[in-house]
């Protein structure tokens, strides 16, 4: 872990205050550097990543939703899951997932805080068994973005205000041609980001929602 970066046990280290849920927020422009990291962003590196296949273009961004424990917000258990430090005894639900080795490139919390776990140049383990327009192994050619939330909850204005500039930055750095939900690449197995996700709010980000 690079010096000065936050960890699950010290999540507030060098992290600016984020606006509260539902408050007015400003969409500040973001930049992804050549190494695949968000410049100036909060970084909590996950070991659950590897190299993409040689020559594989990044052409898809996938929107997920996650909350740990389910339907509870604001804790650091998502960070612990992605860094293999989740305590299986801390909650009954965790006993069934603590062994998983998963990650996402980004997480956007309810207050709009943006956290990066994996460089965009590398393969995060977010998609699982998946297919996009006849192509399997979506992790090979996609970027994963988790929103703290769930199928039964609308997402916050702060989350959309963080997501839109992130998508613009990704489109500037990589040849991303399409935007999909986890449910689109794993139908019948996954339902996120769910019915409350407002796809029209992503128009103008440089990536067409749910189409190539």
Residues annotated catalytic, as ranges: 146
Place of tokens 């909060």: 42
Give 139's DSSP letter. G
Please confirm whether the linkage preceding 29 is cis (ω < 30° from 0).
Answer: no
CB 125 within 8 A of CB 101: yes
Can the peptide bond before residue 193 be classed as cis, meaning omega within 30 degrees of 0? yes
**Sequence-separated (6 or more) residues with CB below 8 Å from residue 133:** 212
CB-count exposure of residue 5 (10 Å: 0-12, 13-18, 19+)? middle
Q: Pairing relation of β-strands 131-132 and 135-136?
A: antiparallel
CB count within 10 Å of CB 71 equals 11
Cross-strand partners of 181: 63
Q: How far apart are CA 92 and CA 97, in angstroms?
A: 10
**Angle ∠(103,106,107) on CA atoms, nearest 5:** 95
């Amino acid at each position: 872990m690079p010096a000065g970066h936050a960890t699950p046990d010290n999540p507030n280290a060098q992290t600016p205050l984020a606006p509260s849920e539902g408050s007015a927020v400003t969409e500040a422009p973001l930049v992804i550097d050549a190494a695949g990291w968000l410049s100036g962003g909060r970084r909590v590196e996950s070991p659950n990543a590897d190299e993409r296949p040689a020559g594989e273009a990044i052409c898809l961004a996938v929107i997920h939703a996650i909350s740990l424990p389910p339907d509870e917000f604001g804790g650091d258990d998502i960070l612990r899951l992605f860094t293999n430090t989740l305590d299986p005894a801390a909650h009954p639900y965790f006993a069934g997932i603590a062994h998983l080795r998963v990650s996402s490139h980004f997480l956007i919390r309810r207050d709009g805080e943006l956290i990066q776990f994996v460089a965009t140049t590398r393969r995060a383990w977010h998609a699982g068994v998946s297919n996009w327009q006849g192509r399997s192994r979506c992790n090979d050619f996609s970027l994963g973005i988790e929103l703290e939330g769930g199928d039964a909850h609308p997402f916050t204005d702060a989350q959309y205000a963080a997501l839109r500039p992130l998508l613009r930055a990704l489109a500037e750095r990589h040849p991303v041609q399409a935007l999909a939900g986890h449910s689109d690449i794993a139908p019948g197995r996954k339902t996120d980001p769910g019915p409350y996700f407002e796809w029209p709010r992503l128009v103008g980000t440089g990536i067409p929602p749910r189409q190539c």
